[in-house]
Amino acid sequence: MGNSVQELLEMLYDTIREARGFPLVAEKCVIERDKALDLLDEIRAKFPTELAEAKRLVDARAEFIANAKREAETIRKAAEERAKQLVNEQEIYRAAKEKSSEMISSAEKSSAELRRVANEYVDDAMKRTEDALTQALGEIKNSRSSFRNAVSSMAKNQPADSSIDVAMDE
């Protein structure tokens, strides 16, 4: 028979339930001994197989649960590592942003100071150039005046049609 232990037990139960009872004693009955023993032998024969199958299923379930726990622990550890990494990256990003803000502020201050110093230098250079040009212009005026005076005094000493007078008028 290809019946399972559950089916065989059900058949034994039906056999006992359908058995004829003794007159005046309801708890006692007559069953076919060979039929009952055959069912019990089949149950006994299948019991180790089904127990082994049940044990195998329980062991497989335990192994599955252990694997699931290991995998869950691996996933949890990886998630913790990733969270730490993200926190570190965020901290590095924050520090880099803070440092870049400081560098930009420092560069802007340095740039403003360089502009101020450059403007002062250019103004001073232009003032010195203006002073030098004013002094040179003064010297040119003095030289011209000296030249005119020299030409005038020479003109008084020379005839009127001299070429020096012509040069002075131009």
pLDDT over 80 (residue 42): yes
Whether the CB-CB separation of 40 and 12 falls below 8 Å is answered with yes
Q: How many CA atoms lie within 13 A of 147 on its CB side?
A: 11
The phi, psi pair for 32, rounded to 5°, reads -75, 115
Whether the CB-CB separation of 129 and 116 falls below 8 Å is answered with no
Tokens standing for residue 141: 């005026």
pLDDT computed for residue 163 by the predictor: 54
pLDDT computed for residue 166 by the predictor: 47
Tokens standing for residue 128: 């010195």
pLDDT over 90 (residue 164): no
Report the alpha-carbon distance of residue 17 to residue 9 in Å, rounded.
12
Residue 170 lies in a domain: no
Residue 169 lies in a domain: no
Residue 163 lies in a domain: no
Helix (H, G, I), strand (E, B) or coil at 21: strand
pLDDT computed for residue 161 by the predictor: 55
pLDDT over 60 (residue 162): no
Helix (H, G, I), strand (E, B) or coil at 160: coil
Residue in this structure with the two tokens 């924050």, named with its chain if needed: 94
pLDDT, tens digit, 9 for 90 and up, residues 45-96: 877 777 788 889 899 999 999 999 999 999 999 999 999 888 888 888 889 9
pLDDT computed for residue 131 by the predictor: 92
Report the alpha-carbon distance of residue 36 to residue 16 in Å, rounded.
9
Residue 102 lies in a domain: yes
Helix (H, G, I), strand (E, B) or coil at 9: helix
pLDDT computed for residue 157 by the predictor: 77
Q: 36 lies in which domain range?
A: 5-147+153-157
pLDDT, tens digit, 9 for 90 and up, residues 87-137: 888 888 889 999 999 999 999 999 999 999 999 999 999 999 999 999 999
pLDDT computed for residue 16 by the predictor: 84
Q: In terms of pLDDT, which residue wins out, 155 or 118? A: 118
Nearest to 151 by CA among 138, 135, 170: 170
Domain count, the chain: 1
Residue 104 lies in a domain: yes
pLDDT over 70 (residue 168): no
Residue 164 lies in a domain: no
